[in-house]
Structure 1
């Protein structure tokens, strides 16, 4: 019997047989000593795939909390069991009429072939249950969040640094295509 992906209280879980062979939802363990000091998100971290009972994605990733959603997919916070770091995970239903996630994956891979600084690493792309899943490096905080932290005021130096980085990355994108 295949596992079923479902969301409960903001955490993606899967139903798997327990030790008695019965099926039921399994939520990630949440222990205080699992917190990651210095991590911007400071989410509870599972110790291993078996202990966490989260839905496994690829060889060593698990899905965690929903962070946001767009027109075509949902963004979830994931966990890399090998590096013990958070990852960003995009979920796109297989039944979507206009598949976009594979195009995003191909675009990232094309850009990674160059030497672009500031581009996230893509770790995995593939089907899981009734979804296509893209797992990539998690960057945080966003430029919008930094703007809020700075009380909606950037110095001239900061604005110029952002502009230089945007122009540099745009130039690299154009050269890669």
Structure 2
């Protein structure tokens, strides 16, 4: 049994701050499994969980001289939760961008689309129908006929600012609708 295994967390932190690589390795050995488990329970993704734990340890080594930590275990646990939350936020944004890009780029009949995309298009079509009259017209011309704000304003005889405002309102409502649906979907996965 190495001498570092007998050190308290406080002692390991002091050695880590001094650049002691063996202290760092003991901290890693002591905490990586619990950190990985916490990340995995939240994500159910081995690669993402491993990356998150590794990122935290890399950060700890790089910032070892300025770390102000009173409870090492608590600090590392919170770091995992924070990184997982950021990962989830990033993935939701990325998924939203890919979904929007696919909606704009996939040609051909709806029958050839994957089921998820068909469902998303149906949700957006229903959403569009539920918008108030002028907002619905503007959203339709923008997203389905691909007209610019200037073209929409000219066609409807309104200002470009009105077009921008109505699109902002419609997109905010759509994001809210999709957010609620994704929250429900997570409950049933």
Q: TM-score range by the shorter chain?
A: under 0.3
Q: Which has the higher strand share?
A: 1
For the pair shown, the structure with the greater C-alpha radius of gyration is: 2
Q: Which has the higher helix share?
A: 2
* TM-score of the superposed pair, with normalisation by structure 1: 0.26
